[in-house]
Amino acid sequence: MAAKLNHLAKMELNKKNMLDAGRICDRFPRVSGIVIHMTYYQRRPGSVFMERTVNFYPSGYAYFNMRCMAKGCENGGFDLSPVIKGLVGDGKRTGKGFLSCHGAEEGHASVSYRISISYFQGGRSAHNSARPGRRQAARQPVPR
């Protein structure tokens, strides 16, 4: 029962943190998308634990604290918020680096990351091929 209460408390804290972070469209209005590719390591950089890619959209929360995947890690994780804030503030499209878990046990896990950021262009997403002011050609009925 105590484990269930502990899990519920962690879920509530996570929800509060996400709400406090706000939405990406509010914090970073120019950003149309963020992709974070991470490689998790255990103990030393040569031992790959897993690879993970996380996509963030403007409607999502600007909460970039990735939890540590090491078994038994309490209150650890990798906070990419300052990295993303710096990249967006400088108008950069990519960034990469290396972080160690900030959990209780030092040196038990680390992550290398690559971040790609897409920006809106002229009020539209950079991935949207339609140009402002242009109409799509209407479909014409096929003569029989």
Burial 59-90 (b: 16+ CB within 10 A, else e): ebbbbbebebbbeebeebbbebeebbeebbee
Domain 21-125 - what CATH class? alpha beta
Q: What is the pTM of this model?
A: 0.75
Q: Domain limits of the chain?
A: 21-125
Question: What is the bridge-based pairing of β-strands 109-121 and 31-42?
Answer: antiparallel
Q: Which amino acid is at 123?
A: G
Q: How far is 99 from 82, CA to CA, in rounded Å? A: 12
Taken in order 37, 42, 47, 49, is the CA torsion positive or negative?
Answer: negative
Burial of 38 (0-12, 13-18, 19+ CB in 10 A): buried
What's the rounded mean pLDDT across residues 112-129? 74
Per-residue pLDDT tens digits for 70-120? 887 878 889 999 999 999 999 999 999 999 998 877 778 899 999 999 999
Q: How far is 16 from 86, CA to CA, in rounded Å? A: 23
Residues in the chain: 144
Which comes out higher in pLDDT, residue 11 or 23?
23
Q: How far is 44 from 98, CA to CA, in rounded Å? A: 12
